[in-house]
Structure 1
Amino acid sequence: MAYADLRDFLAALDRNGQLLRFTDPVPLEPDLGAAARAVSNVTDRGPALLFEDIDGYERARVALNVVGSWPNHALMLGLDKDTSLKEQFFAFARRADAFPVEAERVGTERVGTERADDAPWREHAVETDINLFHLLPLFRLNRYDAGSYIDKAAVVTRDPDDPENFDTQNVGIYRIQVKGTDRLGIQPVPAHDIGIHLRKAEERGENLPIAIAIGNEPVITTIAGMPLAYDESENEMAGAVQGAPYRIARAPLTGMDVPWGAEVVIEGEIIGGVREIEGPFGEFTGFYSGGRRQPVIAVHRVHHRTDPIFEHLYLGRPWAELDYTVALNTSVPLYRQLKQDYPEVVAVNAMYTHGLLGIISVRPRYGGFAKAVGVRAMTTPHGLGYCKVIIVVDDTVDPFNLAQVMWSLSVKFHPAHDLVVLPDLSILPLDPSSEPPGISHKVVLDATTPIAPEQRGHFSQEVDQPAGTQEWENRIKRLLT
């Protein structure tokens, strides 16, 4: 199911009726941001949008909402577009267990004066008079964004203290503000791998080399937003998830390993010790994040394919493409980490605002067990900065079925016994409810059935499904498809 590049995936979407092409001229603003917002408003089975004629540009193309629905997400995994969310979760989790799958570096052997199987993004290179506004169809997504952003690029950096260690090379997704023709602002969180790399570079009195790959096939951008351990390679996890070695190519100026099939690759360096105001920006929380002093990138070289496709990600009030993109890549790591300590964990749904709210189904062993699982979720690497509200349900409740979750919460949760409040824990500063920014109370809501030694309520006569229900479910599914 491995896709060669973004174009290959767009073709797969097209074959499955999940791509809309727009050939009429379209203004950059406000139309592209409005279209990306609108497609999520209209349907939860939204197609990708490909704009092929952008006002003011001769050849620019823009792709939006590429993984902006569960059918598109299923196709990314090589599954039938009608695969249920729960099935996609377990497929993702099974594949993640195959990690690591060694990456395949392509284009390193010379044949005469040419490189064998050169990456397509090396077709054109711009090294002087760089003007990102001419090279890319840049636009604001939301009305009060401080400027144009690049927000779905695979950003690659290396550990300055161990630059040859492939495992600690990081591929991440970060918001990048275009601040000038060859100058960018970036928001690296200090606890993230890029933040660690930048701190080490600045301690050495150095700049941090960086490569930014725009317009990639969807698996690497999904994995780039996945909370992996510092020494776990995103490229090797991408290989596990797609079921084949992930193809990478060496960026010539920085030496970074970037996706072989990228549309555009920007090379430069984060300038050590320099901070400038970046933002405001309409964030995934549904609120503007305000301006903060953030690092600055000097752009030294831009590579691009002929007629490149600029892929963009809409952010705003959920649900939009970001929520589909980070849904399972957040849920699966939490599931794997919790299951190491608690094999009774059945599934984890951390899809809501990047895991600020999560739902865990568990098979409790004794009274109070579910509460312990909920608290543990808050101490995982991702949970430390997210996981503000955790709802724990029984293993008989599908955490991806909100109707079942709300039923469980409404009849099993007792406010006097099942609410755990943990004061003043860490949270990402972008959470608009945190006070001060980065600090928040967190809560666990235990919506599991009380078991010994807890003795309360009247839960002994739960209504069961009629015999044969599962067979009828399968029969109706076949008829519907």
Structure 2
Amino acid sequence: MARDLREFINLVEQRGQLRRIKALVAPELEIAEISNRMLQCGGPALLFENVKGSPHPIAVNLLGTLERTCWSMDMEHPEELETLGKKLGMLQQPKPPKKISQAIEFGKVLFDVVKAKPQRDLLPACHQVVLKGDDVDLTQIPMIQPYPQDGGKVVTLGLVITKDCETGIPNVGVYRLQLQSKNTMTVQWLSVRGGARHLRKAAENGKKLEIAIAIGVHPLIIMAAATPIPVDLSEWLFAGLYGGSGVHLAKCKTIDLEVPAASEFVLEGTITPGEVATDGPFGDHMGYYGPVNDAAPLVRFQCVTHRKDPIYLTTFSGRPPKEEAMIAIALNRIYTPILRQQVSEIVDFFLPMEALSYKAAVISIKKAYPGQARRAAMAFWTALPQFTYTKFVIVVDHDINIRDPRQVIWALTSKVDPTRDVFILPDNPFDSLDFANEKLGLGGRMGIDATTKIPPETDHQWGDELKSDPDVAAMVERRWSEYGLGDLDMGEADPNLFGYDIR
């Protein structure tokens, strides 16, 4: 897969969804303010070509709509993401095929895996310019400062690449890094993430952890890095599955790691276990400034490589909508078949963007026995690692459209007795950015059973739900234009009225 960031920028521009900004702009605050206004209205991607203090242009908001996020994965419609999810589900939990058709389908997936294996480039574009030692100057990279009280400038869409010092299996994640000096940065990652695990293992073995930061890659590779996968699988392989062909990789110049060959910038460095610095505060996805971390791992960089005339790709966190929310919506679609495979009773699930794309989930089930809603909620919390931090799970019947807030609120208010149908699990592990928790890093979960109750959940008969006469409804549909109402819809809910205009 020889595709790169520039190819995607060209695609977005050809489809009329890129604006080139030629006016002089500052990377401190101004670029984020402009970009945030575009995100709020579902506007185009932006390429700032005249950045104060830097010769390098800045690309932002490339994945600012669900439509463009789909384009990054060679798809036109969100529904195609679920097809991809089925493929990934087969790989994560393969089952012996029971029918010839299933065997053929699994064989196709295995063939896709063969095609998805990474390829190596001997003369990669990312090595067109090589800077080592005293020539390394990270301040020349046009990092932005999104918010006034931020602790400094940041890298936000860099692929952070590390490797298990025992198994050699790499991890590719997307973590925030803060500029500390011309050749150092701090990295902010949760203790459960792959990079943090690799650092702990390096410390146990008395070794430094090698780390590479690849900035400015095709967004498809970012999507693969953001996908939660088992620790013994490679994000490079998943990126190849996403794109239909293997990612082109290149060996780093000074460390034993591989990076996407077409990266705009590559930073090569090491972390000495125990060497830390102060990181933050920074505006985070919760919509607040996150706390200062006085023990953030310090990365020392000894080499920077980049393409000729590189483009700096960035984004920023904050209260939705942001680019990370659009990525989460796309991943929601990909997770759905995987979740159904792990929790068979789940018909569908939805992580509302307004709930930070993971703090609240709505799941639907085809209810068959009492207590099933509670079982489904418990299974959801353990299905994938990122669901550990989901605070609220609302379970509804299969005939509720979980993406229509009107239907979900109706189910909550008409089917829930708080005394009976709400259950709380205290003292669960949470990310430290959630200030609502009494103790940072530890908090409660709430499950809400908003399904129709059956004995012995209730000792009285449930009323019949109001529904139109099917024959009359069909007749009205046939005669809709005859009524002179053909220019109006037939009472369908418009999601745009409820803040779901994700364009």
Instruction: Report how far residue 459 of structure 1 moved.
Output: 4.4
Residue 52 (structure 1) aligns with:
49
Greater displacement, 14-23 / 237-246:
237-246
Deviations 1:53-81 (A, max 9, x none): 11222x3110111111111112123223x
Instruction: Report how far residue 208 of structure 1 moved.
Output: 0.2
Residue 111 (structure 1) aligns with:
none
- Taking the TM superposition and a 5 Å limit, the aligned residue runs for 1:6-405 are 6-41=5-40, 43=41, 45-57=42-54, 59-80=55-76, 83=77, 85=78, 87-97=79-89, 99=91, 101-102=113-114, 103-108=116-121, 115=122, 118-163=123-168, 168-292=169-293, 293-329=295-331, 332-333=334-335, 335-336=336-337, 338-351=339-352, 352-383=355-386, 385-405=388-408
Q: 1:15 to 1:160 in 2, by over 3 A?
A: same
1:435 to 434, 438, 441: 438
SS at match of 1:271: strand
Q: Give the unaligned 5+ runs of structure 2.
A: 92-109, 481-486, 490-502
CA distance in 1, matches of 2:132, 2:157: 23
Decide whether the 8 Å contact of 1:388 with 1:442 is kept in 2: yes
Letter paired with 2:304: V
Instruction: Report how far residue 104 of structure 1 moved.
Output: 4.3
Q: Percent identity?
A: 28
SS at match of 2:308: coil
CA distance in 1, matches of 2:477, 2:430: 41
Length, aligned pairs only? 455
Instruction: Report how far residue 269 of structure 1 moved.
Output: 0.8
Decide whether the 8 Å contact of 1:344 with 1:363 is kept in 2: yes
CA distance in 1, matches of 2:22, 2:299: 34
Letter paired with 1:23: K
Decide whether the 8 Å contact of 2:57 with 2:312 is kept in 1: yes
Letter paired with 1:124: V
Decide whether the 8 Å contact of 2:161 with 2:172 is kept in 1: yes
Decide whether the 8 Å contact of 2:281 with 2:292 is kept in 1: yes
CA distance in 1, matches of 2:331, 2:271: 27
SS at match of 2:369: coil
Q: 1:250 to 1:407 in 2, by over 3 A?
A: farther
Letter paired with 1:66: L
Decide whether the 8 Å contact of 1:65 with 1:314 is kept in 2: no
CA distance in 1, matches of 2:350, 2:412: 15
Instruction: Report how far residue 88 of structure 1 moved.
Output: 4.9
Residue 112 (structure 1) aligns with:
none
Deviations 1:461-480 (A, max 9, x none): 342574499999xx999xxx
Deviations 1:92-142 (A, max 9, x none): 42343464735444445xxxxxx4xx2211111101324444431122111
CA distance in 1, matches of 2:5, 2:90: 24
Q: 1:3 to 1:316 in 2, by over 3 A?
A: farther
CA distance in 1, matches of 2:26, 2:475: 55
Larger Rg: 2
Instruction: Report how far residue 328 of structure 1 moved.
Output: 3.3
Q: 1:248 to 1:408 in 2, by over 3 A?
A: farther
Instruction: Report how far residue 376 of structure 1 moved.
Output: 1.7
Q: 1:7 to 1:457 in 2, by over 3 A?
A: farther
CA distance in 1, matches of 2:250, 2:403: 38
CA distance in 2, matches of 1:73, 1:457: 47
Decide whether the 8 Å contact of 2:118 with 2:249 is kept in 1: yes
Decide whether the 8 Å contact of 2:119 with 2:246 is kept in 1: no
Instruction: Report how far residue 458 of structure 1 moved.
Output: 3.9
SS at match of 1:221: helix
Q: 1:287 to 1:303 in 2, by over 3 A?
A: same
Instruction: Report how far residue 408 of structure 1 moved.
Output: 2.4
Decide whether the 8 Å contact of 1:25 with 1:54 is kept in 2: yes
SS at match of 1:300: strand
Residue 457 (structure 2) aligns with:
454
Decide whether the 8 Å contact of 2:81 with 2:334 is kept in 1: yes
SS at match of 1:49: strand
Structure number having the greater helix percentage:
2
Letter paired with 1:96: L
Letter paired with 2:442: I
Decide whether the 8 Å contact of 1:96 with 1:241 is kept in 2: no
Structure 1 length-normalised TM:
0.88
Letter paired with 1:93: G
CA distance in 1, matches of 2:395, 2:475: 28
Structure 2 length-normalised TM:
0.84
Q: Give the unaligned 5+ runs of structure 1.
A: 109-114
Letter paired with 1:145: D
Deviations 1:210-258 (A, max 9, x none): 1110011111112212221111211111222223323322223223221
Residue 417 (structure 1) aligns with:
420
Q: 1:469 to 1:9 in 2, by over 3 A?
A: farther
Decide whether the 8 Å contact of 2:157 with 2:313 is kept in 1: yes
Q: 1:325 to 1:364 in 2, by over 3 A?
A: same
Decide whether the 8 Å contact of 1:328 with 1:350 is kept in 2: no
Greater displacement, 173-182 / 249-258:
249-258
CA distance in 2, matches of 1:470, 1:142: 52
